[in-house]
């Protein structure tokens, strides 16, 4: 074997190694779970044949709804045509039951509020329509708690019993605090809507973190961030309050991956995969 052949083989195997691909994961594969992945030279990724968005840096994300069940298959294809497949078997969880007493109008809204609620639902739907169009993974800035003092008094996924009646499940975390406490963005994002005085949400903000990941902050006394504003992780976006359907000052933080309901605590327990 001559020098040119040896040199060619070194180049070949170096290129193969560069494109061979290795996926690193962070997060939890469970009901309400979220997985953040990173890999080099990825050409595409699918979850149960649904195409995922991959950032130019190699990050992508996917999640499992609060009620997800069964087997999910992740398939990652690299630029060298190599494919890696990963399988997740999502088991059912047991959720808590939470009983609350609220003003009757928030359990059975008066008919006179129906037009208002419908209008607000349309505004929220319009704001969410742009979610998923941003391929950039703004969430790679990492995650931090939305309040300076962490006091969680209601967890994700619990079945709500309102005034003795079964209601929707609790799709977020409730942070206890005082009127006027600062609320901060959990990660870099774009404000899709800064809503004022909604019947259920009160004053609230919806942040888009890219690739379908969103966070919503409800019941604020006042807003700091505005619609279409870009915010950084830890930046003040509003002040804690008790507007909308609330029994007292607190922050309801909700997280979704597209329409999948995600446990926000996953974010705070997850370190992003390294690029090294």
Q: Is the pTM of this model over 0.85?
A: yes
Rounded average pLDDT over 169-196 = 95
The C-alpha atoms of residue 179 and residue 100 are separated, in whole angstroms, by: 20
* pLDDT greater than 90 at residue 38: yes
pLDDT tens readout for residues 123-163: 999 999 999 999 999 999 999 999 999 999 888 877 766 66
Tokens of 60: 């992508």
| In contact, 95 and 31? CB cutoff 8 Å | no
Query: Of the CATH numbers 1.10.3860, 3.40.1440, 2.60.40, 3.40.50, which one belongs to the domain with range 3-90?
Result: 2.60.40
CATH topology for 97-268 is Glucose Permease (Domain IIA) (2.70.70)
C-alpha distances out from residue 215 to 10, 35, 79, 128, 189, Å? 48, 16, 33, 11, 9
For 179-208, the DSSP string reads TT-EEE-SSSEEEEEEEEEETTTEEEEEEE
* pLDDT greater than 50 at residue 255: yes
| Bridge-based pairing state of the strands 97-100 and 159-162 | parallel
Rounded average pLDDT over 50-67 = 96
Lowest mean pLDDT among 16-20, 21-25, 39-43: 16-20
C-alpha distances out from residue 30 to 55, 62, 90, Å? 24, 12, 5
Tokens of 225: 């961030």
> For the chain, what are the domain ranges?
3-90, 97-268
The upper half-sphere exposure of residue 36, i.e. CA atoms within 13 Å in the direction of its Cβ, equals: 27
Tokens of 6: 């040896």
Neighbour tally for 144: CB within 10 Å: 14
Given this model, what pLDDT does residue 100 score? 66
| In contact, 30 and 88? CB cutoff 8 Å | no
What is the average pLDDT value for the chain, to the nearest integer? 88
pLDDT tens readout for residues 235-248: 999 999 999 988 89
């Amino acid at each position: 074997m001559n020098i040119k052949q040896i040199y060619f083989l070194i180049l070949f195997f170096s290129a193969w190694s560069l494109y061979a691909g290795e996926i690193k994961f962070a997060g939890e594969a469970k009901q309400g779970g979220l997985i953040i992945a990173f890999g080099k030279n990825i050409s595409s990724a699918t979850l149960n044949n649904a195409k995922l968005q991959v950032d130019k840096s190699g990050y992508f994300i996917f999640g499992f709804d609060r009620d997800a069940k069964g087997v999910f298959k992740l398939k990652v294809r690299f630029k060298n045509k190599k494919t890696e497949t990963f399988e997740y078997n999502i088991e059912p969880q047991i959720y808590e039951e939470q009983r609350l007493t609220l003003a009757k109008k928030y359990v059975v809204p008066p008919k006179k509020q129906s037009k208002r609620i419908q209008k607000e639902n349309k505004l929220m739907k319009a704001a969410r329509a742009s979610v998923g169009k941003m391929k950039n993974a703004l969430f790679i800035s990492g995650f931090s708690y939305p309040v300076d003092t962490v006091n969680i008094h209601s967890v994700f996924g619990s079945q709500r019993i309102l005034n003795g009646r079964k209601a929707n499940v609790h799709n977020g975390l409730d942070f206890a605090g005082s009127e006027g406490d600062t609320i901060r963005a959990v990660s870099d994002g774009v404000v899709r809507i800064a809503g004022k005085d909604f019947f259920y949400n009160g004053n609230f903000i919806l942040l888009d973190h890219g690739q379908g990941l969103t966070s919503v902050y409800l019941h604020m006394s006042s807003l700091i961030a505005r619609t279409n504003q870009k915010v950084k992780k830890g930046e003040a976006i509003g002040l804690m309050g008790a507007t909308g359907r609330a029994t007292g000052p607190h922050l309801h933080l909700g997280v979704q991956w597209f329409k999948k309901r995600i446990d926000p605590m996953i974010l705070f327990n997850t370190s992003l995969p390294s690029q090294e």
